[in-house]
Structures are given as C-alpha cells and as structure tokens.
Amino acid sequence: MYSKPKVEEIKQNVHLLTFPDKKKLYLVGTAHVSAASLELVSETIDEYKPDTVCIELDEQRYKSIMERNKYENIDIIEIIKKKQIFFFIGQFILASFQKKISDKTNSRPGEEFKEAIRKAEESQARLVLADRNVGTTLKRAWRLTPFWHKLKLFGAAFAAEDDEITEEKIEELKTSNAIDEMVNIFAKDLPITKNVMIDERDTYLVSEIQNNLGNVTVAVVGAGHVPGMLKKFEEFIPNEEKDKINFVPAPSFISKLIPWIIPGVIILGFLYGYFYGDRSYANDFFIYWVIINGSLSAIGCILALSHPLTVIAGFIAAPITSLNPTIGAGIVTGIVQTFLAKPRVTDFEEIQNGELGVLGWWRNRLTKIFLVFVLSSIGSMIGTFWAFKYLIKFING
C-alpha cells in the first residue's frame, strides 16, 4: 500500500520528500542553461550524499551530452530514409537557441546533468536515467498534435527572442509562480502538446523514481516538471500507466490512406482515359507528367543550390516517386546530395553554436540537405497537382 510522502521546500528549487519507510528524495529543479543550477546540483549531492541519483535524461540524450565525437556517428542517410530530417534539424535549431541563452549566462546546456553524473560516479552512487525516450516523446507529440498546433509550435520556436535574457531572469523563471504561469500559457495555446511534452513526462519521471528509490535519492529535473511531479508523487504510478504513455500510436487510417489517394486517382484516371478515351492522348499525358513533375522538382533542387547531379536525380525521380507513397522525391534527392557533399563536423557545430544565419542555410552542407529535401518535395507535389488539370482533360477527351 503506497503512502504519499511528506513534502517540504527546504531551499529554493529543492524539495524534500520523506516517505513513510524513511526513504528521502531531494527533488532539484533546474534551468538547463543556468550556471546557478549547476552549483545547486553539486551542493545538494555533496550535502546529502545520496546512494541514488536520478536525472531527467534518457539513454539517447545521455549519450548525446557525454560523447565527444557524437557528430561523426550520425547517419544522415538513415535519418532521411526514416523521414526524420524535420525532427533532426528541429532539434539542432532549438539547441542553437538554447546555446545563445547559455552564452549570455556563462553556462552550457545540460551541464547540471553532467555534474550530477560526475558526482554520482565520484561517490559510486547508482545513476538512474529516468526520462522517457526522446524519440517516443517527439513521435507521440507529432502524431497527437493537430496540424495547426504544429505550425503554432514551430512558429513559436523560430520567433523566440533571447536578446533580453539574463541569468537573473532565468532564476526568476524558476520560481513556482513563474513556472505555473508558463505552464498555463502552454496548456492554453497547445494543450495536447503540453500534455505529451510535460504531463506525460512528469508521470514517467515519477514512476521511474518511485521504482528506483534508494535510502537517500537526489533527482535532478527541469524546474518546469517539479509542480506536476509533486502532485503525482501523491499516489503510486503503476507500470501499466507508464507503459501506456510509452506507446507510440500508429498513424490513423485516414493519414495512411491519403498518400495513396493521389497516385491512385492518377493511375486510374490514366487507365480510364487510355481505354475509354483518346489513346493518342496517352503519350502526350505521359510526357507532360514527366516534364512538369521532374522539372518542378529539379527547380526545387536548383533553388537549394544543390549539386548538379542532385538536380538530375530530382528530375528523374519525381515522376516515379509521385506514384509511390512509400518514397518521396525529397528522400532520393536528399540521399544523393548527402553522397555528393557529406556534412562535416563543422557544419553540425555551426548550427549547434547558432552561427548559421539566413544565408548560411544554403552554405552549410547539413542544412542544404534539408533544403534539397523540402524544396524538391514541394516541387514534385506542385507538379502532381498541376498535372491533374491535364489528366482531367485526358479523361474527358
């Protein structure tokens, strides 16, 4: 039978949870770009000497902040094949924004976690990676968030200003009133996204901590998770509930069907026109389809300033991939561009450090792959819809 712990705030951003079996949990709320947070983590572990340290990281993020040569092991082609290029570039852009803030506050993103890891190793405390897999979180957010909310989320990320952010303002944002206000704004504007990104992870973090409590445990999490986690600690979270939010929902039937509708209509329309219309028109339509689809995809590659062979690949691939929903023109052109101009470590670092600039998107090899992927896909898509007009004339003819 689970009994809720006694909760008290022993200092700013540190809560002590004392359980009936005398186990103690020190919940430390941090800002990921705050130098003061790093000191708070270090002082808390030194003072209370935990046998268990839990941190708001999963295995993937743990490796990301600990590996020195992390960029050398990234397989861009595999990312393109799995259609994860949007998530991949998005993470780098958000990281660059975080880097700009950390530069202003003389800190580095994730340093408080690295300090907790170092302290745990130094004291031989058990280290628990308590967060849900970042891929699961992003996929759930993407699948569950309505389209217009996705646009709002991306818009907020790219429009964010950091010019006036200081260390003092970051520390103010870690107070309970400020956190509550930010979470409430998030919940009002993007309720489903907030539920996936914050509430579900609160549940997951609490469940992992409850199942891994030592006699003395220090848990290091983002300050935004603390209010929700304290509420969830009032009852034990069964594994079934954690498993439920660790599940990535399959795409809806409609979303699976849509990619097949357009090529299906084109193929059926072509066959109908060929057998019941003017067969001489078939050759004209085929040529029109290849030229308009291939040309617009190639123009997309040109606008991205891609390699000439990538332009040719876009022209050849688009008329074929437009009839195959399992692969898009952008996948082909992105892979070709990667082979011809593989991103360098400096390309990753330029994005990470926020040094890119608008024109840099066409110069940086990594973002150029993204532009090739997007613009060639858009060109092929426009060509497909443009061809409909000719298809209808062909059917009626």
**Span 208-236, average pLDDT:** 94
Q: How far apart are CA 296 and CA 380, in angstroms?
A: 6
Q: How high is the pLDDT of residue 107? A: 47
Q: How far apart are CA 64 and CA 357, in angstroms?
A: 24
Among 245, 263, 284, identify where a domain stops.
245
**Better-scored residue on pLDDT, 343 or 275:** 343
**Better-scored residue on pLDDT, 194 or 175:** 194
Is the pLDDT at 174 greater than 60? The verdict is no
Q: Are residues 177 and 297 in the same domain?
A: no
Within a domain: residue 344? yes
Domain count, the chain: 2
Token match 């770009």: residue? 33
CA neighbours within 13 Å on the CB side: how many for 153? Answer: 21
Q: How high is the pLDDT of residue 68? A: 55
Q: How high is the pLDDT of residue 57? A: 92
Q: How far apart are CA 11 and CA 5, in angstroms?
A: 18
Within a domain: residue 1? no
**Span 306-335, average pLDDT:** 90
Q: What pLDDT band is residue 179 in, cutting at 50, 70 and 90? A: very low
**Span 299-311, average pLDDT:** 95
Q: Give the count of beta carbons closer than 10 Å to the beta carbon of residue 90.
A: 17
Helix H segments across 322-363?
A: 329-340, 345-352, 360-363
Q: Are residues 295 and 216 in the same domain?
A: no
**Span 263-290, average pLDDT:** 71
Q: How high is the pLDDT of residue 176? A: 46
- Quote the DSSP letter at residue 29: E
The pair of structure tokens assigned to 281 is 């028109």
**Span 322-327, average pLDDT:** 79
**Span 40-47, average pLDDT:** 94
Q: What pLDDT band is residue 295 in, cutting at 50, 70 and 90? A: very high
Q: Are residues 259 and 236 in the same domain?
A: no
CB of 331 closer than 8 Å to CB of 322: no
- Summarised one tens digit per residue, pLDDT across range 82-119 is 766 666 666 655 555 545 544 444 445 578 899 999 99
Q: Give the count of beta carbons closer than 10 Å to the beta carbon of residue 175.
A: 14
Q: How far apart are CA 77 and CA 366, in angstroms?
A: 11
Q: How high is the pLDDT of residue 346? A: 79
Q: What pLDDT band is residue 233 in, cutting at 50, 70 and 90? A: very high
Among 245, 277, 303, identify where a domain stops.
245
Q: How high is the pLDDT of residue 126? A: 96
Q: Are residues 209 and 318 in the same domain?
A: no
Q: Are residues 72 and 40 in the same domain?
A: yes
Strand ranges in the chain using DSSP code E only, listed in sequence order: 6-11, 14-18, 24-30, 52-55, 126-129, 216-222
Is the pLDDT at 395 greater than 60? The verdict is no
Q: How high is the pLDDT of residue 333? A: 94
Q: How high is the pLDDT of residue 105? A: 41
The pair of structure tokens assigned to 42 is 């270090």
Is the pLDDT at 155 greater than 60? The verdict is no
Q: Are residues 233 and 287 in the same domain?
A: no
Q: What pLDDT band is residue 215 in, cutting at 50, 70 and 90? A: very high
**Better-scored residue on pLDDT, 137 or 379:** 379
Query: Whole domain around residue 229: which residue ranges?
Result: 6-245
Q: Are residues 196 and 273 in the same domain?
A: no
Q: Smallest Cα–Cα separation from 31: which of 93, 90, 102? A: 102
**Span 20-44, average pLDDT:** 86
Q: How far apart are CA 161 and CA 181, in angstroms?
A: 19
- Summarised one tens digit per residue, pLDDT across range 337-378 is 998 998 887 777 776 666 667 788 898 888 898 889 989 999
Token match 């947070």: residue? 37
Residue 346 sits at the vertex; the CA angle it makes with 341 and 347, to the nearest 5 degrees, is 50
Q: Are residues 55 and 103 in the same domain?
A: yes
Is the pLDDT at 306 greater than 80? The verdict is yes
Among 245, 268, 303, identify where a domain stops.
245
Q: Are residues 115 and 231 in the same domain?
A: yes
Q: What pLDDT band is residue 214 in, cutting at 50, 70 and 90? A: very high
Rank 137-141, 155-159, 258-262 by mean pLDDT and report only the highest: 137-141
Q: Are residues 65 and 164 in the same domain?
A: yes
**Span 194-204, average pLDDT:** 89
Q: How high is the pLDDT of residue 56? A: 93
- Quote the DSSP letter at residue 56: S
**Span 326-335, average pLDDT:** 88
Provide, rounded to the nearest whole percent, the portion of the chain with pLDDT above 90. 34
Q: Are residues 84 and 185 in the same domain?
A: yes
Within a domain: residue 145? yes
Round the average pLDDT of the chain to a whole number and report it. Answer: 79
Q: What pLDDT band is residue 211 in, cutting at 50, 70 and 90? A: very high
Q: Are residues 142 and 192 in the same domain?
A: yes
**Better-scored residue on pLDDT, 157 or 226:** 226
